[in-house]
Amino acid sequence: MVAEHDDDGLEQTAPVWAVFGDLMSGLLGAFVLILVGVLVVQMDLMANLESEIARRQQEEQRRMALEKALAIPLQSGRVTLNEGRIGISGSVLFALNSDELRPDGRQLLRSLVPPLRVYLGERDEMLMVSGFTDDRPIQGGNRRFADNLELSAQRALTVSRALLDEGMPSGRVFAAAFGAEQPVASNADEQGRVLNRRVEMAPVPKSPGPVAATAAASPVTPP
């Protein structure tokens, strides 16, 4: 009778241990999957972090190289450098609502050509020359331009051709126009509008992506 009791006890206990073993195996498998998932996520994060660090280091190196190349023009105070974009106030280059280059503006552009030629040549890059205006409609007797976009386009072309005249290779320059888009200051007062009337030059890869929809862009060839 005892043996039968023992046998019955084993028969009742064995399934419990089997279920417990299956449960533990399932939990262990789930834990392993979770651990693998966490490790994969961490590896992706590390790879993204390393990529971002490398990108920022490359941008910093480009910025420092451009600052070094343009050290003398930057010291004059008439040229600015912000995130790889070389800025020149529109008043330095042009009279209000005009696309005729001032003599001082041409002299400034002349001083930029030698260092930019070296910089672009070493990196096999191009120079995008962009024109910007304030948001005020063109007024007065000047009816050559239909709107600010057309004025900014002509100014960008004028600057680009001046660079070519001073020795910049034609294959290194193209022009873009943004009109009143992308202001750097408020157009509510004259001080802000003066800042928005500007020309920017930015080194870009030789095969740049599409120019923004609000911009008009074109290659520049000598007249």
**What is the residue extent of each domain of the chain?**
1-69, 70-219
Report whether 53 contacts 161 (CB < 8 A).
Answer: no
The token pair at 192 is 């802000």
Of 55, 65, 54, which Cα lies nearest the Cα of 120?
65
Could you say which architecture CATH assigns to the domain 70-219?
2-Layer Sandwich (3.30)
Rounded distance, CA 98 to CA 145, Å?
9
- Position 82 scores a pLDDT of 87
* Burial call 170-208: b when 16+ CB within 10 Å, e when fewer: eebbbbbbbbbbebeeeeeeeeebebbbbbbbbbeeeee
Q: What is the DSSP string of 10-76?
A: HHHHHHHHHHHHHHHHHHHHHHHHHHHHHHHHHHHHHHHHHHHHHHHHHHHHHHHHHHHHTHHHHHT
Nearest to 206 by CA among 130, 123, 131: 123
Closest of 197, 106, 91 to residue 151, by C-alpha: 197
Please write the tens of the pLDDT for every residue from 18-30.
666 666 677 777 7
What is residue 56's predicted lDDT score, i.e. its pLDDT? 67
pLDDT for 148 beyond 90: yes
Pairwise pLDDT comparison (4 vs 61), residue with the higher score: 61
Q: Residues near 167 by Cβ (< 8 Å), separated by ≥ 6?
A: 113, 114, 117
Mean local confidence (pLDDT), 151-157: 95
**Residue 15 reports pLDDT greater than 80:** no
Per DSSP, what are the bridge partners of residue 219? 174
pLDDT band of residue 210 (cuts 50, 70, 90) is: very low
Task: Output the six-digit token pair for 33.
Answer: 């999957």
Per-range mean pLDDT, top range of 18-27, 49-58, 65-74, 148-157? 148-157
Q: Which residues of 64-88 are buried (b: 16+ CB within 10 A; e: fewer)?
A: eebeebbeebbeeebbbeeeebbbb
Long-range contacts of 48-57 (CB under 8 A, 24+ apart): none
Give tens-digit pLDDT for 95-124: 988 899 999 999 999 999 999 999 999 889
Count of residues making up the chain: 223
